[in-house]
Amino acid sequence: MIDFSPNESQAAVAAVARSYAKEVLEPRAATLDRTGGFPHDNLAQAARAGLLGINVPEALGGRGAGVVAYSLAITETARACAATTVALCVSNMVAEVVTHFGNEDQRTAYVPRLCRGELVVGAFALSEPGAGSDPGGMRTKATRTDRGWVLEGSKLWITSGTDAGLFVVWARTSDAPGTRGISTFLVPGDTPGLVRGKPEHKMGLCGSTTTAIDFEACEVGPQALLGEEGRGFPVAMMALDGGRVGIASQALGVGLAAVEAAAEFVAGDAGRRGQQWVQWALADAATELDAAQLLVLRAAWLKERGQPFSREASIAKVFTTERAFAACNRAVEAMGAAGCDEAHAVERGLRDVRVTMIYEGTSEVQRIVISRDIMRRFASG
């Protein structure tokens, strides 16, 4: 029976995230954005609040709360601080990926520690200077040795690269063309030969770090291989499909916060309040974000039930991130000069939300996914 409201346990997780966002994230968000750096304490507190393994089984130290609860929680944290939220999203997905693809040893070695915050956070190392949207262009290599593997190559735009305690790394293990020769490795952050780059200067998400990661004769044991050799691409796709739900939830939170702030500002300003264009801008933003929320929840719900959700995740991501960006822009517009002032979070929202249309699959990649699905549905024969 159709019902869009969260059940009790989902609502409870959202409430935990909401109070964490209010008490921990919100008071620090503006300063964090200005000073930059990695939000250590925010993430340590996230671990204590049980927000680093929301969709991870309780037996492995997670909450076992499901994907819908995860999505709701991410939206709540993103309302207050999108920068901390992205680190949180990625770490949750790393824990999920290790849970899903790891063997017993790998799971017990890493997942409980990720959930407890003992590894700070997890990170994904997929993109490269020459391979963003197209992972088939990847060059990082893993060569088999007597003692395991040696990783060699460069990764780019690694969220939490400065501090992550565990990296999920994709590398070529054979010369098979395209994505077939790619494997996945679990590399602890303190592994010799894993070299962290300096944080990039970004337009937004300034309170999260993004770095290059170089692998210079980086030796790992045989137990570092996650899943089967040569089967790294499906791992990446699973991580990205799930990741898209997270990023869409993140963008949604940023957009909702911007519209709320703008509505409050406008409601208190008789001159603006009476302007029909201001009302229109906010009405459109609110409508689109409500639709976005439903698309995100649908994708989360499908994933939670174990049903295919790639198409729905892409739809949720492209629609939500683009409409959230539009919403932030409208919020700034509706507030005028105040909207550009640091004193209001909407200018930060506008800067923060831009990248959601890029990472974990650009809008264009989502449209490719969606249109390929259309081809499958409509091409005869």
Residue 2 in contact with another protein, rule: CB under 8 A = yes
Alpha carbon distance, N-terminus to C-terminus of the chain: 35
Choice between 44 and 358, CB closer to another protein: 358
* CA–CA distance, 65 with 10 (Å, rounded to integer): 7
Choice between 119 and 302, CB closer to another protein: 302
Using CB under 8 A, count the residues that bind another protein: 50
Residue 64 in contact with another protein, rule: CB under 8 A = no
Largest CA distance in the chain: 74
Choice between 134 and 228, CB closer to another protein: 134
* CA–CA distance, 29 with 133 (Å, rounded to integer): 30
Q: How far is CA 183 from the centre of its chain?
A: 22
How many angstroms separate the Cα of 233 from the Cα of each of 226, 309, 375?
12, 17, 22
Residue 271 in contact with another protein, rule: CB under 8 A = no
Residue 292 in contact with another protein, rule: CB under 8 A = yes
Q: How far is CA 60 from the centre of its chain?
A: 21
Q: Build a one-symbol-per-residue string for 319-358: x at contacts with another protein by CB under 8 A, - elsewhere.
A: x---------------------------------------
* CA–CA distance, 300 with 313 (Å, rounded to integer): 8
| Segment lying near another protein (by CB under 8 A), choices 1-9, 83-91, 336-344, 348-356 | 1-9
Q: Which residues of 190-218 are buried (b: 16+ CB within 10 A; e: fewer)?
A: ebeebebbebeebebbbbbbbbbbbbeeb
Residue 280 in contact with another protein, rule: CB under 8 A = yes
Please give the residues from 68 up to 87 whose contact with another protein meets the rule CB under 8 A.
68
| Min CB(96)–another protein separation in Å | 19
Residue 1 in contact with another protein, rule: CB under 8 A = yes
Catalytic residue of the set 26, 288, 360, 364: 360
Q: How many C-beta neighbours within 10 Å does residue 18 have?
A: 18
- Report the run of H or E that residue 214 belongs to, with start and end: strand 210-220
Choice between 177 and 268, CB closer to another protein: 268
* CA–CA distance, 233 with 3 (Å, rounded to integer): 35
| Min CB(16)–another protein separation in Å | 17
Residue 270 in contact with another protein, rule: CB under 8 A = no
Q: Which member of 223, 291, 340, 341 binds another protein (CB under 8 A)?
A: 291
Residue 8 in contact with another protein, rule: CB under 8 A = no
Q: Which member of 24, 142, 257, 315 binds another protein (CB under 8 A)?
A: 315
| Segment lying near another protein (by CB under 8 A), choices 53-61, 152-160, 187-195, 298-306 | 298-306
10 Å CB burial of residue 352 (0-12, 13-18, 19+) is buried
Residue 169 in contact with another protein, rule: CB under 8 A = no
* CA–CA distance, 100 with 189 (Å, rounded to integer): 21
Please say whether the beta carbons of 26 and 85 come within 8 A.
no
Q: How far is CA 61 from the centre of its chain?
A: 21
* CA–CA distance, 221 with 84 (Å, rounded to integer): 32
| Min CB(248)–another protein separation in Å | 12
Residue 134 in contact with another protein, rule: CB under 8 A = no
Note if 360 is an active site residue.
yes
**Which residues are known catalytic residues?**
360
By the criterion CB under 8 A, which residues form the site for another protein?
Answer: 1-7, 10, 68, 259, 263-264, 266-268, 273, 279-280, 282-284, 286-288, 290-292, 294-295, 297-298, 301-302, 312, 315, 318-319, 364, 366-368, 370-371, 373-375, 377-380
